[in-house]
Each structure stands twice: as structure tokens, then as C-alpha cells.
Amino acid sequence: MSRSAEPPVPRVRVLLADDHPVVRAGVAGMLDVEPDIEVVGEAADGAQALDRARVLRPDVVLMDLRMPEMDGVAATTAICAELPDCHVLVLTTYDTDRDIVRAVAAGATGYLLKDAPLADLADAVRAAARGETVLAPPVAARLVQHVRAPEAESLTPRETEVLDLVGQGMTNAEIGRALFISEATVKTHLLRVFAKLGVDDRTRAVMVAYQRGLLEAGPAP
């Protein structure tokens, strides 16, 4: 008596969103060897990712963060709002507190770094398709640190503005003139920044702010 054929294993349908073609090709090649994962489409920016997600209805979108037209955070927000059955898994080189928190707040199911091994990436895609939260260990540690010490991560808009100008090499007097405030007020803002960041000089304050994603380091290459 012949046995009936085994039912096909459901495949996780993945959309890749990254502005670098070589990265997309590499990730697609890595995932295509997995029997239960299928790359169904690619997008070169956030706007394309949203458009193609609407048409393809993937289970998972592997989303880079810094892309032209629409960045990954904006695309994640839109996809999660419009397509609740589609899960966004961030795959990026950036692990600053600011990037992590923005992505999670936008609705991302997980956050991986591009140096993740193939096995970890494939497992993360499967977990994301099930709606499970997936965080790379360094990302999880930074997120916990951020939650435990929110005050240390929070600068006012004016403090951020002052620190950004410090990073551009301006003196206190030059910052005062640029912002139409007194030099004494500039010093007061900087002292508050030092206290929040746990530093005691201007150079260290700028370095820590960049590391934590509180200041934009400029466009990525």
C-alpha cells in the first residue's frame, strides 16, 4: 500500500531592503540555501520596500536602516501599520542606542547586525516570521542599558544643538553668537551635558554622544 506524499513545508517569504546591491545579493545567496526560506523580492530604499511589501505580502522584511528616499525606520513604521502580518527584522551595521530605540519603537520585531553568522540570520528570520522578538546580543545589552538609564541618554534640543556645534569645532563664544545666547549660557548647557553623559570635558562629551547616537555622525558612505 503506497504512502501518501508528505505535505510541502511552508516557506518563509522574505523581502530584502538595502541600498547596496552587493549586500542584497549576498544575503539572498545566504538565505536561498535554506529549504524553508524564500527571497521573494528586493528593494533599494525604504519607499520601494513599502511598495513591494504591499504587493508581495512577505512574511518578513529584512530592513536596512539608512537608505535614500525613505529610511528604514519610516518604512518600518508604515509597513507595520499597513501590514500587521508582515514582520520587520532590521539588518544593519549600526548599533547606536538611537538607531536601536527608533527601530524598536517603529515596530521592528528584531534587530540584527550584518556580521551575524548565516545560521543566526536564518534562525532570526524564522523566529521573526513567528512574531518572536530577535535581538543580537550587543543590541539587547544596549537596549537594556538604555531602559535602565533613560536620563543619561536624554539631552534637550538646545543641549544637543550646543554639543553639535562643539563637535564642529566652535568655541563657546562662537556657539553663543551662532545661537544668540550668552557665553555663560553655553557653559551652563555644557555642564548639564557633561553631567548627563558622565564626562568632564568637551571632547569626551562629543565622543560619547556619537557613540550613543545622540549626535548624527554625518551621511554614511
- Give the pLDDT band (50/70/90) at residue 219: very low
pLDDT band at 1 (very low <50, low <70, confident <90, very high): very low
Q: Which of 148, 172, 192 is the last residue of a domain?
A: 148
| 60 and 136 co-located in one domain | yes
Model's pTM, two decimal places?
0.65
The confidence score (pLDDT) of residue 104 equals 85
115 and 32 housed in the same domain: yes
Pair (166, 207) in one structural domain: yes
**Residues whose CB falls within 8 Å of the CB of residue 66, separated by 6 or more in sequence, listed in order:** 19, 72, 92, 94, 220
List Cα–Cα distances, 22 to 19, 44, 49, 89, in angstroms: 9, 11, 17, 19
Residue 186 or 220, more confident: 186
Task: Tell me what pLDDT residue 213 has.
Answer: 79
Residue-averaged pLDDT of the chain: 86
For the chain, how many structural domains are there in total? 2
Task: Provide the pLDDT confidence category of residue 145 given band limits of 50, 70 and 90.
Answer: low
Q: Is there a domain that residue 5 lies in?
A: no
193 and 107 within one domain: no
Position 214 scores a pLDDT of 83
pLDDT at 47: 95
Residue 158, pLDDT > 50, answer: yes
The mean per-residue pLDDT over the stretch 121-145 comes to 84
Same domain (yes/no): 30, 106: yes
How far lies 188's CA from each of 161, 181, 185, in Å?
A: 13, 11, 5
CATH number at residue 159: 1.10.10.10
Provide the residue range defining the domain that includes 160: 151-211
> Is the same domain home to 60 and 125?
yes
